[in-house]
Amino acid sequence: MSLLKTPLIGLKADSFRHPLDLQATTSLKQIPGLGMMVRNWLGPMAEQVFYVENIASSVLVGEKQLPDLYNLLLEACKILDIEPPQLYIRQHPAPNAYTFAMRGKQPFIVLHTSLVDMLTPEEIQAVIAHELGHLKCDHSVYLTPVNLLVLAAAVVPNVGAFLAQAIQAQLLEWVRCAEFTCDRAALLATQDPKVVMSVLMKLAGGSPTLARQLNLDAFVAQARAYDEISKTQLGEMVKEARTAQLTHPVPVLRAREIDRWASSKEYQSLLQTGGVQSKDETASLGHWRNW
């Protein structure tokens, strides 16, 4: 990997947190009883289901097991100034990655083999850094049981239907907003917006055979066109309907966000100061168009 990357010593989560993430988290915390339910009910359930199941079904990466991937993890952790979690590789046909962190457990990241197979080493590091962003911003402690909450609400008699209607949309909005923040973490770690956008392009339409044939410049132009169309009333309606039930924003929108943030003063300042940002610059992050 490149030796020219800037380590962001002392990097704080709020220095790169997307304003929509902050807004959605504030709204989520206002749901009555949600915090207690997460801590006392879904927390222990998530620990048993996810922690045991993943460790039993995946391969732990380390110095003697896929050391190249392990080094990508260590470098990303050094740049983002975060303690390395465990990294697992899991056999799965659907390209995906996720993070798990619960009380008293070693946090870990899981990469699916199908995702690794279609990405370059730099792009794999971008994915790892995205997942590190969840840990850096304390998303994962909340994200793991929240993912279960949507499923659990559907099977609990009486209460289930009420919870599903009352909080599912808000939970999904929070998860989508958190993804914008973690894409920024991927950019901070790779320090190359083309790498991050290439990952998003391949998630949208890639495969081990097609990935090498995709044109990033064309995809970036597509993302910018999507952004322009979304400014119309009809485009906004279609976009909202398209994303309402998704756990992630659509890839072209995420690519457009990275394209925009990579040229922002906030991002350039973080690189120039090694992760330290002034109060004025941090405050300016709050002025953002609501998607």
Q: Which residue has the tokens 């590789």?
A: 89
DSSP string, 230-249: TTSHHHHHHHHHHHTT-SS-
Whole-angstrom Cα distance, residue 274 to residue 10? Answer: 8
75-105 residues labelled b (16+ CB within 10 A) or e (exposed): bbbebbebeebbbbbbeeeebebbbbbbeeb
SS3 content of the chain, % helix, strand, coil (to 5): 65, 5, 30
Q: Which residue has the tokens 């973080």?
A: 270
Q: How many CB atoms lie within 10 A of CB 226?
A: 17
| DSSP bridge pairs for 100 | 108
Q: Is 236 among the catalytic positions?
A: no
Q: Considering the candidates 75, 131, 173, 257, report the single residue annotated as catalytic.
A: 131
Residues 6+ apart with CB under 8 A from 23: 177, 290
Residues 6+ apart with CB under 8 A from 230: 236, 239, 253
Backbone angles phi and psi of 221, in degrees to 5: -65, -40
Catalytic residues: 131
